[in-house]
Structure 1
């Protein structure tokens, strides 16, 4: 049984003048315990998919899907109350900019207490209080924060971004979810703190068998430990498949361009002053998308057929949308 199975997901933004398609015909699936990387440039729709899954988009957004299954249950065909119960118990999300996500008017201990599942605490008041304290201390120790007393009595503005991110992860894993969504968890962090957060997420996946969707635009932070990779461009999932296959033989020109734009510091002949590879042109806005293939105006392989929208194709375990896919190994 698949943990998550999404088919033909569409997310539209309703404005006064028009309806803008932010995510179009996205297909996404993953197994229990799998780490799946969701990669793409800012504004490609990565975070929208995560927010649509947990149901935090407001009424301006219209979310539809042919299939939205989680642990074998169709989230589309159940009451809002039941859906929220399943999501709150089994899915957790860690947002970027953690300090803005925490309540600035409450201390950290109060906020961590609220994240604890109620079913764990039964009995008389003092025993309940001691149990909650021990549970919060244990959660902070799990994410690498040893001085829990100083953190408990602090407010978000008194702590660094790195500590706040670890606190967010601690709150997210309090209910031991089946799926953890990490939305750009290392964007605002220093390199050393970023490595600590990634190491922490790896250990949660390995020790707790916690499935993970890691959303990022930084390839190096995910390609070494993700089981699968999904690449987004202008609201479309343009390529997905097992990490080793996508890395060694990308089928979509945009995927290859992403990999080629990364500096290879392991190459002894690499010139630090060498200009990095970039695609010509700029990303179109969602209000002015090109006809046919989204990458068409920038694609080095574009031909006449690209004026029509490519369908999703499967080839040797990889899914992609391209009329003229790359054939053979890229390395």
Structure 2
């Protein structure tokens, strides 16, 4: 059974003039125990999509979808309170800026204890209090923080960004979610610490069967840890398939450009050579192109690209492009 099934989800920014679709008809499906990467440049709508799933977008955003199912339940037909009750129990998110998400007036220990699921606690209230403290310490150990005595007494501003990120991961794991959304979980960490966190997420997936949506702008890094990958560009769905399909035989020109910009995929080129890049930059929300939003930067763009392309399915490998690269691999 699909854990989450989203079809044609759009996120509209309410403005005084013409509405702006920051995310435009995006599809996302995940099975239980799956690790899926969500990849794209900064500004492609990855974090907005994740926040729409968790339900933390404010009133200036309007979310609409043809289908928004969580374990078979149609969330679009539920009230906001009912939707929040389901999602807050089963879904947790690691946000990109931990310092902005932690309470600056409360110690790390108090925030972790508050995040612990009450269903894990037994006995009288004084026993539950001690169990909360021990659960918070165990969570810190799980994310690689050994000196918990200092950490639990500290306020967020007294810790480094990397330590705050580990605390955020610990808080996300506190409720033992079925789906963990990790938005750039290692952005503030060194490479050695990044590997440790990714190995932790992989072990949670293997031992607890926890599904993980791993959001990143680094396609090469994501390929080491995911089963499947979804690629987005400027709020639009671009391509989806297995990790091997996306990295070895991408069908969309944008995905091809992401792969070509990876050193791993260009080991044969001479040292100090320039990697392949697309001209231009991702468009801003106020000036989004019509049709395929990659059109102004795409090397294969033609007249048809002023219309939004439909999704084509090649045995599970999905691509949204008028002129996919499929034929070039034949």
Q: Aligned partners of 1:67, 1:122: CA distance in 2, in Å?
A: 39
Unaligned residue ranges in structure 2 (runs of 5+):
none
Aligned residues: 330
**Secondary structure of 1:181's aligned partner:** strand
* 1:127 shift after superposition: 1.0
Conservation of the 8 A alpha-carbon contact between 2:259 and 2:265: no
**Secondary structure of 2:8's aligned partner:** strand
Q: Could you list the per-position Cα deviations for residues 169-193 of structure 1 after superposition, in whole angstroms to 9, with x for gaps in the alignment?
A: 1110111100000011122222222
Conservation of the 8 A alpha-carbon contact between 1:92 and 1:181: yes
For normalisation by structure 2, the TM-score amounts to 0.96
Q: Aligned partners of 1:176, 1:94: CA distance in 2, in Å?
A: 13
Matched, 1:320 2:322: no
**Secondary structure of 1:33's aligned partner:** coil
Q: Aligned partners of 2:276, 2:141: CA distance in 1, in Å?
A: 42
* 1:328 shift after superposition: 5.1
Q: Could you list the per-position Cα deviations for residues 142-190 of structure 1 after superposition, in whole angstroms to 9, with x for gaps in the alignment?
A: 1111111111111111112221111111110111100000011122222
Q: Could you list the per-position Cα deviations for residues 95-142 of structure 1 after superposition, in whole angstroms to 9, with x for gaps in the alignment?
A: 112122111111111000110112333432321111111111111111
Q: What RMSD, in angstroms, separates the aligned Cα atoms of the two structures?
A: 1.7
Q: Residue in 1 aligned with 2:233?
A: 233
Conservation of the 8 A alpha-carbon contact between 1:198 and 1:221: no
Q: Aligned partners of 2:21, 2:221: CA distance in 1, in Å?
A: 29
Q: Residue in 1 aligned with 2:158?
A: 158
Q: Aligned partners of 1:118, 1:306: CA distance in 2, in Å?
A: 53
Q: Could you list the per-position Cα deviations for residues 202-238 of structure 1 after superposition, in whole angstroms to 9, with x for gaps in the alignment?
A: 1111111110000100122211221111110111011
Unaligned residue ranges in structure 1 (runs of 5+):
none
Q: Aligned partners of 1:44, 1:55: CA distance in 2, in Å?
A: 19
Q: Could you list the per-position Cα deviations for residues 28-54 of structure 1 after superposition, in whole angstroms to 9, with x for gaps in the alignment?
A: 101001001000001110000000011
* 1:330 shift after superposition: 6.0
* Equivalence map 1:102-117=2 (5 Å): 102-117=102-117
**Secondary structure of 1:141's aligned partner:** helix
Q: Aligned partners of 2:24, 2:247: CA distance in 1, in Å?
A: 24
Residue range with higher mean Cα deviation, 284-293 or 160-169? 284-293
**Secondary structure of 2:238's aligned partner:** strand
Q: Aligned partners of 1:120, 1:263: CA distance in 2, in Å?
A: 46
* Equivalence map 1:1-331=2 (5 Å): 1-264=1-264, 267=267, 269-327=268-326
Distance change in 2, residues 1:146/1:329 (3 Å) = farther
